[in-house]
Structure 1
Amino acid sequence: MKRVHVIQHTHWDFEWYFTRNEAMIQFVYHMDEVFESLRKQIVDYYLLDGQMSILDDYLDAYPEKKAELQKWVRAKRLFIGPWYTQTDELIVTGESIIRNLSLGMKLADELGGSQKIGYLPDSFGQGADMPKIYNGMGIHDAVFWRGLPKEKTNNREFNWQSEDGSNVTTINIKDGYFVGVGLIENDDAEETMKTVVADTSLDDIALPVGGDQRYVDYNLKDRINFYNQELKDKDITLFESNYPKLFEDINKQKSNLDTISGEFITSSVSKIHRSIYSSRYDQKYLNDKVERRMIYQLEPLMAMADRIGIPYKKSLLDKIWKLIVRNHAHDSAGGCNSDKTNQIILERLREADQLLYSTVDYLVRKISESEQNKKPNDLTFFNTLPYPVKKNVHFQVSLSEKNFETLDVTNRVNVDVLKVTKQYCGQIKRDESQYDPKDYYYIFDCVADVTLPALGWKTLTIKPLSGELAILEDLRETVIENDDFKIEFDDQKLNLLNKKKNQVIANFIKIVDDGDEGDTYDYSPAYSDKKFDLTFEDAKVTCQNGNSFKTMKIIGEWKLPADLNERANGVTNGKISYQLILSLDDQDSLIKVHLLINNQIKDHRMRAVIDSGIDDVQTKSYADTAFGYIERPVVDKNIHDWKEKGLHEEPSSIFPMLHWTNIHNENTGLTLMTKGIKEYQVVGKNYNKIALTLFRSVGFLGRPDLIRRPGVASGNQFTYIPTPDSQLQETLHFKFAISINGKFNPARNMKEFQEYAISNPYYQVQNLNQFTNILKYFVMHPLNKTVENRPFFELKKDGLIFSSLTESKDRSGWLIRIYNPNKISYSGNDIIKLRQKCLTSLTDFTGEIINNLGLQDSISVGSFAPGEIKTIKLEKGI
């Protein structure tokens, strides 16, 4: 007997071609329907889409409804949570996914309890690390629709397992969260049940009845009775149910299910939008920036500040996290929205950025101005990572004098001055000739090498001198080099000499442009396309050679088709001005790239193609994931017969990345680390080059009959929705770093990314320049005690990666999250060094204690399984 669990629900997109505000109007009336249906037993159970953001907005408008919400949730008739928003799983960080769940479960628990099911019915692909994340949050069951490859399993119910052993019982609603609408609208019960029963391996089956912003089906009970009458001789019975009840029945047979692992990003059961990772680059760049600043800068800095008496502001952090994760719903993160929705997304990201920036500035100023034995012009740099760093830092100092020297205690620090700006600090007047010469000062833009302690700060002395300081000049040269590399501009191209291998890679970085007749969901080649391998013809080239860094600046203009019509006709009336800066440091082995372009053309895709210099044919690529890395083929095995096999889109080997991607052989590898670029493809005759998609410029939310995605339009199938803002005709920044190194090492890749991408806040004690940041103009009390930089803790194992540092929920300690990115086990002995012994414990991701570890000053936590994540609690007082 097949037991069909009919689950009444609605799928409430947080925002899409409509804004969150527009959807909210329908939602407040929808909730009236829900409450009425529960009161009158029109439905036994109702699932409110598994995300709390919509209820957060609802309760903001109707706080008086909280009691009724609690009533139905506690009665286990209304199911809510665990998400704050239904997250994208592939291009937002693992910490963001954890915080999304934390916010959602906290709010749901306040309303009577969270549905502890990983419910993501519409995310565009499933990340390989999700079972780890779910188990760490106390979740052991999951539901999703998109991405499952047929070759993994043909069954809709299975065990999904990560490499560390984490496991969730999973239901794949293969025909979509809306498949059960057939129960309401189709009287052919046998035909409907063929779809429902197909590929199920158990007798208990899910039938979700709902859809996008769908109303409550008032006739649900009648339709279930009708179907049961029609199917009374077919060994099928339907009844109202819910996902917790369904999983209770399925888990009785868990041992009989297939066990599979990995990510699910194929289009065998639905569209997957494999190239959405490059839509609306402007949003992805800003989201990446706020994630990095929140996780790796503000949260650790707030912990550092709390230790010296500046209170930890958990509510402020939660406010910022809510702003961030509201942009992580699958449509929001993808960028496949109307222009007005994308404008709101950008505004939320800007608001989060302003809050982050201002909080960091406040804390570094408060600490610096409270520091013991502080002196005028002291310059303090902060390191918010749990290991020492030695790196080049960019900074500004403001002085009355035209010259200075920088001292680390008594040792002179080499400083390169890039620019000096004369500035006035008196009251502004219409007639500037009345300004007092004594009210002028100088702002110096500088670069220097600094070595900073783990989770600490270092203060340098700025000593004014007489005379004038030499400024680093722009030289009309075409070569820069350090101990590792030599970069030469020659014949409109860039050539790279790898000194350690004595290998020259000609034209090692180039920009490629092609037409894009896709939409905000997918890249698709233009029907009449022309590809351009762009050179640096007629570019102006200058170089700077500092004490510990070298830069090459290339400024020019590319001529390209202005739109698809010009591309089809071979016309190039469009122009893109650009500035490409390549940097080499003496402190690391990275080639740092900063490309600034002014995009003024439409319907195209631009990619940066980097040559690895590896002669071997590459068959695999590698990229980081939420808490590890994944191996992928450079050519999909279905690429030549995907239509015949029924795939919903071309399985191009275009893949997502979070922070880095890599190709390698046994001896060497190419790793690209990016700030906001989320898409790559391995290309070239031997598949030995990596193409980073810089951005795509398109003008519609959805288009039908694409070359890569034939058939109906994605999104709304019945009307074109223009998105002129998604043409991104604006100035765009692209930042990435190139690492050419030895054997593949995922932990080294991630640590190099952290050192490269996480900036070091700083503060100069001075009153000349009241506008070094927005809040500097306002007065501030220092702490009522002098402070000193006491060691906090240091992560000692290079094979393990720092993920986060936060305060525990009960405020009694610090939670340190660390993970093993390797596919092999790794020792957890002596991984953290403390300055003194303290009580330590292992916890789950929420801070609930799993195992007390006792008093330790060198923390050991046992071995890390492949890909395992561990959260360690340190009692406050260290």
Structure 2
Amino acid sequence: MKTKIHVIAHTHWDYEWYFTSNESFIQLCYHVDEVIKALQEGVLDYYMLDGQMSIVEDYLEVQPDKRETLNSLITTGKLKVGPWYTQSDQMIIRGESLVRNLQLGLESGDALGGADRLGYVPDAFGQSIDMPKIFSQMGIDKAVFWRGLSSDQLSQREFLWQSEDGSRLLTYNIKDGYFVGVQLIEVDYTKPLLDQIKQDSTSSHIALPVGGDQRYVDFNLKERIAYYNDQLTDEQLVESNYDQLFAQINEEAKTLPIVQGELLNAEVSKIHRSIYSSRYDHKYLNDKIERRLIYQIEPLMTLADQLGLPYKQELVDKIWKLTLRNHAHDSAGGCNSDKTNQAILQRFIEADQLSYSVVDYLTRKISESRKNLKENQITVFNTLLIEREQVIGITLSLPQTAFTIYHEGKKVAFDIKKITKHSNAPIRKNIHPSPESYYYEIEIALPLKLQPLGYEVLDIKLNEDSIETTSASKQLEENGNTIENEYYQVCFKNGSIRVLDKESNILYPDFLIVEDAGDDGDNYDYSPPANDWKLQFKFDTANVSIVQGNWKSSLKLNGCFIIPKNQYEREQGKATASIPYCCTLKLEAHKQAVDVHLEINNQAMDHRMRLLVNSGVKTEHSIADTPFGTISRPVVDPNLKDWKEKNWKEEPTGLYPMLSFINLHDQQKSITAFTKGIKEYEVIGSKDKIIALTLFRAVGYLGKPDLGRRPGVASGNQFKYIKTPDSQLQKTLTFKCSIQIKHTFNAARAFCKYQKHAISFPYYQQQNVNQFTNTLKYFVMHPLPFQVPETYSFVDATKVKQVVFSSCKKARNRKGVIIRFFNPVEQAIQDGGELICQEDIHFWQFTTMEETIDEQHFQSSQTIPLGRFKPKEIKTIYIEFKHP
């Protein structure tokens, strides 16, 4: 039987790269016209539009008259679209973002005749460990990808890609790239191409993708197929698509090997395992917007919907789409031209403004619709599904500084952090405001216990001296060098940061160090210079001050790092660049973590800065979070010793991606670093390991050839140096992390700890002295036509055990609510606990990420038992309430 070569016509449409999406959009408009013409006239039988619906959406914006034409071509199977909205990065993008991406892509494709149920990932820089279960839960049972698989994992192209929960995908690895088939068009000699694509193939059906980056339609495809077939005896080329390829591989019924784990190796293609630290400013913004969308807007809008303020799905989708367009693999990585990164930054700014305005509007609308609304009251919202007892920060606007705070009728002690005096009088030249116009902005910290997914009210009484009635509010600024809470003592002594863990009585000297090193790399990869000069800073020249409060205390270090200004200075052993910094270490009552807030005003080029956390842990593995779980990685990649001899495309470095945390632990201790926007880490050190968090890389080119860690041609455009001075990041950068020292590590508790640390409490104060607490405050607003409860709690996951809350939102295209949990570890959990609903349930049932409902298996209990979780299993619950 002849080997059948499935010729698959397609384009790979990088959403943006060294060009902007606006520039490529012009070609897109004419390209899709060509695709339509080729399919309608039979010049092509099938065509694949890169598996992402954002470009179809863009095309239809200017060609709405072609909607019916596209619908016809998609319905008949000639044009393949979806399942993605954008071709997302998988390594530094949150799991719920990947789910929204697929949901929006599948919905959009189905509305046009049917999205392709293929996990198509032709160019992303690595495949996440969680993708088989994500695809499976979205109704996708087959996948195609290029990058990440190495021969030590598997040598053949066809296999079953499996997650720990048992989810499986029939998978095809296009080891030669999505562009390999262009040789069919351009090369007359058949043998090299056939030998290349047949290598490592065990099936008699082989994919030959014919396409490339923004490539035009090959109108002569049938002619070239006929030309090749005339020369072949043992093979036959046929126009095809991936559906037909997989159907015929299935018909062969061969036993296929199983592959598990992340695919992040660079044997056959570059993987760029340090792209996670390029363009840090973008990654910081993306992390903030993702957190706000997943953990604040969607739960808050769900709560508001239950109270009678309708869920605006299209508004949420608008913000998601802006954000998802920045999740395309190049966009997320930051490996783009400056003009492209400026466009990405503008989308982030727009998504940021929209998202925080949604939170501002909903908190105010609900607050001002309460039954017993009073002046100066504060409505505080908890958007997580668990009870939270934490110290929170609030800024009050009051006509005076003497006041007391009550919660549920009891006085609440608080720290006053800062008082600023303002006037609300109309501004006039040479006219001073009257004394009556003044008010005070007062920043406070106070402990609160808040019920799950709901809100509570704080009452403020004026003319009561808070210093006398709440002694805990007195706060002193001192010149000492030590702060402490019940868990840790943090001390700045002899020029270094020392942390004492009180539970174990272990002292961590030189706990935090900033490392600066040269970077001869590009936007894709870090590469050490041939003559590097590494510097380490213990803050020994810093000016020190502390603020000691009963609820929050801080130790502030101000100073300058003196480093080489550029690579030339580094090679000469000179250091003339002064890098101002402010490092603030914070301790909070009842919180077992040291919070770190670091600002660096970068004024140097071609360098990398990392925060080193001296853990004292002895281990050869790290634990980091992934889209829906955790992963254990070796400190030293087993392929590091001989990667050059094996002709790998780049060094299998110890640099790895993370979403929110990285942990090291042994039998005596555990150190976890929780981050906001920092996405890259490395574990260094011989015996006692050090967590190296990459703060940022400052480089000046999109791609460079012959790097130390990545030999050969430049990544990106191989024919021209493209300067990217913006990616030198000559500006003030903010870094936030929280470091926890414990005896043991528990993955579910780590996720919970992260959510409590990273998700703030939205709040609204009813007052009229300050119309600029946020932008929307200046606008007048009607309360709801009906009153909402004085306090409220919607859904309670406090009794959920050993699994992780992932999402709470309105179901798509249904009136119920979706709540999702996952098991983060490789061991089964026999009992995930129970979810308690405070409103009357009509019915509930377990579903998938597709959110389909089986009307034969409804349940109606008020308490939802989560039951047993398989290893790394994701469970999604659909709940329909009786009201509203």
TM-score (norm. length: structure 2): 0.97
Separation (CA, whole Å) in 2 of partners of 1:108 and 1:97: 16
| Residue 835 of structure 1, CA deviation | 2.5
| Residue 586 of structure 1, CA deviation | 1.4
Q: Which amino acid aligns with 1:271?
A: K
The residue aligned with 2:850 is 846
Over 3 Å counting, the alpha-carbon distance change for 1:836 and 1:323 in structure 2 is closer
**Residue of 793, 796, 806 corresponding to 1:794:** 796
Q: Which amino acid aligns with 1:105?
A: L
Separation (CA, whole Å) in 2 of partners of 1:137 and 1:843: 11
Separation (CA, whole Å) in 2 of partners of 1:646 and 1:403: 72
Q: Secondary structure at the match of 2:608?
A: strand
The residue aligned with 2:521 is 518
Give matches, 1:102-141, under 5 Å: 102-141=103-142
Separation (CA, whole Å) in 2 of partners of 1:703 and 1:71: 45
**Residue of 426, 446, 449 corresponding to 1:448:** 446
Separation (CA, whole Å) in 2 of partners of 1:160 and 1:787: 49
Separation (CA, whole Å) in 2 of partners of 1:97 and 1:462: 43
| Conserved? CA contact 2:148–2:263, under 8 Å | yes
Q: Which amino acid aligns with 2:516?
A: D
| Conserved? CA contact 1:396–1:446, under 8 Å | yes
Separation (CA, whole Å) in 2 of partners of 1:49 and 1:724: 31
The residue aligned with 1:722 is 723
Separation (CA, whole Å) in 2 of partners of 1:485 and 1:809: 46
| Residue 249 of structure 1, CA deviation | 1.2
The residue aligned with 1:239 is 238
Bigger Cα displacement from structure 2, 809-818 vs 712-721: 809-818
Q: Which runs of 5+ in 2 are unaligned?
A: 468-472
Separation (CA, whole Å) in 2 of partners of 1:798 and 1:666: 24
Q: Secondary structure at the match of 2:428?
A: coil
Separation (CA, whole Å) in 1 of partners of 2:760 and 2:23: 38
Q: Which amino acid aligns with 1:148?
A: L
Q: Which amino acid aligns with 1:385?
A: L
The residue aligned with 1:815 is 818
The residue aligned with 2:867 is 862
The residue aligned with 2:37 is 36
| Conserved? CA contact 2:82–2:105, under 8 Å | yes
Over 3 Å counting, the alpha-carbon distance change for 1:106 and 1:532 in structure 2 is same
| Residue 830 of structure 1, CA deviation | 4.4
Separation (CA, whole Å) in 1 of partners of 2:324 and 2:462: 46
The residue aligned with 1:478 is 481
User: Which whole-Å deviations, capped at 9, do the CAs of 1:687-716 have from their partners, x for residues lacking one?
Assistant: 511000000000000001111111110000
Bigger Cα displacement from structure 2, 340-349 vs 252-261: 252-261
| Conserved? CA contact 1:390–1:450, under 8 Å | yes
Q: Secondary structure at the match of 1:644?
A: coil
Give matches, 1:767-786, under 5 Å: 767-786=768-787
The residue aligned with 2:470 is none
Q: Does 1:547 align with 2:550?
A: yes
Over 3 Å counting, the alpha-carbon distance change for 1:799 and 1:563 in structure 2 is same
The residue aligned with 2:226 is 225
| Residue 155 of structure 1, CA deviation | 0.6
The residue aligned with 2:879 is 874
**Residue of 517, 532, 537 corresponding to 2:540:** 537
| Residue 471 of structure 1, CA deviation | 6.1
Q: Which amino acid aligns with 1:792?
A: F
Separation (CA, whole Å) in 2 of partners of 1:557 and 1:829: 49
Bigger Cα displacement from structure 2, 689-698 vs 252-261: 252-261
Q: Which amino acid aligns with 2:868?
A: S
Separation (CA, whole Å) in 1 of partners of 2:183 and 2:239: 15
The residue aligned with 2:672 is 671
Separation (CA, whole Å) in 2 of partners of 1:468 and 1:687: 48
After superposing on structure 2, the runs of 4+ consecutive aligned residues of structure 1 that deviate more than 6 Å are none
Q: Does 1:269 align with 2:268?
A: yes
| Conserved? CA contact 2:628–2:872, under 8 Å | yes
Give matches, 1:76-155, under 5 Å: 76-155=77-156
The residue aligned with 2:306 is 307
Separation (CA, whole Å) in 1 of partners of 2:11 and 2:760: 43
Q: Secondary structure at the match of 1:105?
A: helix
| Conserved? CA contact 1:389–1:451, under 8 Å | yes
Separation (CA, whole Å) in 1 of partners of 2:281 and 2:716: 21
Separation (CA, whole Å) in 2 of partners of 1:255 and 1:826: 34
- What count of residue pairs does the alignment treat as equivalent? 873
| Conserved? CA contact 1:837–1:855, under 8 Å | no
Separation (CA, whole Å) in 2 of partners of 1:490 and 1:682: 26
Separation (CA, whole Å) in 1 of partners of 2:621 and 2:191: 45
| Residue 526 of structure 1, CA deviation | 1.3
| Conserved? CA contact 1:296–1:758, under 8 Å | yes
Q: Which amino acid aligns with 2:876?
A: T
| Conserved? CA contact 2:616–2:688, under 8 Å | no
Bigger Cα displacement from structure 2, 843-852 vs 531-540: 843-852
| Residue 229 of structure 1, CA deviation | 1.2
| Residue 809 of structure 1, CA deviation | 2.4
Q: Does 1:806 align with 2:809?
A: yes
| Conserved? CA contact 1:164–1:868, under 8 Å | yes
Q: Does 1:337 align with 2:339?
A: no
The residue aligned with 1:745 is 746
Q: Which amino acid aligns with 1:537?
A: D
Q: Which amino acid aligns with 1:348?
A: R
| Residue 74 of structure 1, CA deviation | 1.1
| Residue 197 of structure 1, CA deviation | 0.5
Q: Does 1:60 align with 2:65?
A: no
**Residue of 498, 501, 504 corresponding to 1:501:** 504
Q: Which amino acid aligns with 1:650?
A: E
Q: Which amino acid aligns with 1:373?
A: N
The residue aligned with 2:456 is 458
Separation (CA, whole Å) in 2 of partners of 1:457 and 1:530: 53
The residue aligned with 1:588 is 591
Separation (CA, whole Å) in 1 of partners of 2:155 and 2:849: 33
The residue aligned with 1:321 is 320
The residue aligned with 2:572 is 569
| Conserved? CA contact 1:605–1:696, under 8 Å | yes
Separation (CA, whole Å) in 1 of partners of 2:11 and 2:158: 22
Separation (CA, whole Å) in 2 of partners of 1:468 and 1:664: 44
| Conserved? CA contact 1:619–1:687, under 8 Å | no
| Residue 308 of structure 1, CA deviation | 1.1
| Residue 473 of structure 1, CA deviation | 3.0
| Conserved? CA contact 1:159–1:254, under 8 Å | no
User: Which whole-Å deviations, capped at 9, do the CAs of 1:295-320 have from their partners, x for residues lacking one?
Assistant: 00010000111111111111100101
| Conserved? CA contact 1:158–1:257, under 8 Å | yes
| Residue 853 of structure 1, CA deviation | 4.2
| Residue 536 of structure 1, CA deviation | 1.3
| Residue 807 of structure 1, CA deviation | 1.0
Separation (CA, whole Å) in 2 of partners of 1:836 and 1:288: 32
| Residue 537 of structure 1, CA deviation | 2.8
Q: Which amino acid aligns with 1:131?
A: P
Separation (CA, whole Å) in 1 of partners of 2:446 and 2:90: 38
Q: Secondary structure at the match of 1:474?
A: strand
| Conserved? CA contact 1:493–1:507, under 8 Å | yes
Separation (CA, whole Å) in 1 of partners of 2:360 and 2:839: 30
Q: Which amino acid aligns with 2:363?
A: V
| Residue 877 of structure 1, CA deviation | 2.8
Q: Does 1:608 align with 2:611?
A: yes
Separation (CA, whole Å) in 2 of partners of 1:807 and 1:295: 12
Q: Secondary structure at the match of 2:317?
A: helix
| Conserved? CA contact 1:476–1:542, under 8 Å | yes
| Conserved? CA contact 1:513–1:604, under 8 Å | yes
The residue aligned with 1:402 is 401
Superposition RMSD in Å = 1.3
| Conserved? CA contact 1:583–1:592, under 8 Å | yes
| Conserved? CA contact 2:475–2:550, under 8 Å | no
User: Which whole-Å deviations, capped at 9, do the CAs of 1:270-299 have from their partners, x for residues lacking one?
Assistant: 100000000000000000000000000010
Q: Which amino acid aligns with 2:795?
A: F
| Conserved? CA contact 1:830–1:858, under 8 Å | no
| Residue 465 of structure 1, CA deviation | 1.9
Separation (CA, whole Å) in 2 of partners of 1:395 and 1:155: 58
Q: Which amino acid aligns with 2:436?
A: K
| Residue 862 of structure 1, CA deviation | 3.3
| Residue 255 of structure 1, CA deviation | 5.3
User: Which whole-Å deviations, capped at 9, do the CAs of 1:381-421 have from their partners, x for residues lacking one?
Assistant: 11000000011111111111121111113321111111111
